[in-house]
Amino acid sequence: MEFLKKHKRLFLSLGMAVCLTAIIFTASPGATPTFVENALGYVIVPLQRGVSDVTGWIGGKFSTFAEMDGLREENRLLREQNSLLKIDNERLLYAEAENKRLTELLEIDQTYAALPKVGARVIGKDPTDWYNSYNIDKGSSEGLTPNMAVLGEAGLIGLVREVYPTYSKVVSIIDDRCAVAVMCERTGDWGQLFGDIDLMPQGLCRMDYIESDAQIMAGDEIVTSALSSYCPPGILVGTVLSVEPDGNGLTKHAIIEPASRIDRVEVVQVVNQLFGDEEEIETTGE
């Protein structure tokens, strides 16, 4: 300590050098997790999980009392909706059976019919307010790898960015660093879904690079496209709120409202299979 106090310049430049080297060496995407990260994971993940459980429990107790009246009304509405859905379901089952027969006729390989999924819990959130990413309590020991799709209660909410033995970092689709290839289900228009810092506080994101003559309009449903390098195609992402032309006159962009609520997510499902990657297609083809 006395030595450091005498050589403050040396201390300062040494610290800066260590940090800058670390930034340079870890800034490349897909850098392998370090020993320190793994070791810290064993300490912090159980703590985060415990505190998340306690806060979730207390929050649940409070909201039970606050929402009692709303729940009765909601229950009645859900019953009505349930009976309608049952009728719809019967019809769709019939349609599915028909679809199956026709598909077999066409000999289309139904690779994506059933997605392998694994459930995980959200245990922590990025404490800076510039980004929107989560830690989930499943990692490489459960077979997760980077770029796997993460689903919320109704659709895509993010991609796995980094995996460690006991936990993974998930970047949500409203995060500025996230990009997914998507398409409009009704019209078949392609686009690229980006998180946007301006839209993140409202829980929205934007779809860029839509052709200017595309027929996409508010209310259309957006799904992941087969062009995506990682995501299985046909997963619901959200609905279009509005479509606005870009300044260049060649493309336009749409504001998308994600189907799942991203700010209050607690349980997620991870599609533990990659799609679109050449190696992966080869292995699934065997």
Partner 1 sequence: MLRVVCMSLLILINFVLQSTLFQSFAILGVIPDTALILIVSAGILRGDIEGAIFGFFAGLVHDLFGGYYIGLYAMLGFLTGYVSGKPFRDFFHDNYFLPFFMVVAAAAAHQFLFYCCGFLFTGKIDMLYYVRSIILPKTNYTASLAIPVYSLMHAINARIERYERSRRSLFKPT
Q: Rule CB under 8 A: which residues touch partner 1?
A: 1, 4-5, 8, 11-12, 15-16, 18-23, 26-27, 29, 31, 34, 36-37, 40, 43-44, 47-48, 51-52, 55, 59, 123-131, 133, 135, 161, 169, 176-177, 197-198, 201
Q: Which is nearer to partner 1, 124 or 238 (CB)?
A: 124
Q: Which one, of 177, 152, 161, 175, lies nearest residue 264 by Cα?
A: 152
Q: DSSP state, 33?
A: P
Distance separating alpha carbons of residues 168 and 91, to the nearest angstrom = 40
Distance separating alpha carbons of residues 285 and 102, to the nearest angstrom = 22
The amino acid that residue 18 corresponds to is V
Distance separating alpha carbons of residues 237 and 218, to the nearest angstrom = 14
> Smallest distance, Å, CB 72 to partner 1?
26
> Smallest distance, Å, CB 253 to partner 1?
14
Q: Which is nearer to partner 1, 134 or 275 (CB)?
A: 134
Q: Which is nearer to partner 1, 9 or 213 (CB)?
A: 9
> Smallest distance, Å, CB 244 to partner 1?
16
Q: Which is nearer to partner 1, 33 or 233 (CB)?
A: 33
Question: Is 255 in contact with 240 (CB distance < 8 Å)?
Answer: yes
Distance separating alpha carbons of residues 173 and 196, to the nearest angstrom = 9
> Smallest distance, Å, CB 175 to partner 1?
11
Q: Which is nearer to partner 1, 169 or 252 (CB)?
A: 169
Helix-strand-coil split of the chain, %, nearest 5: 40, 25, 35
Q: Which is nearer to partner 1, 162 or 220 (CB)?
A: 162
Question: Where would I find the beta strands (DSSP E) of 61-202?
Answer: 117-125, 133-136, 149-151, 156-163, 168-172, 179-184, 190-194
C-alpha 143: how far from its chain's center?
17
> Smallest distance, Å, CB 232 to partner 1?
25
Question: Is 270 in contact with 149 (CB distance < 8 Å)?
Answer: yes
Q: DSSP state, 213?
A: T
C-alpha 236: how far from its chain's center?
11
Q: Which is nearer to partner 1, 15 or 119 (CB)?
A: 15
The CA-CA-CA angle for residues 237, 180, 100, to 5°, reads 55
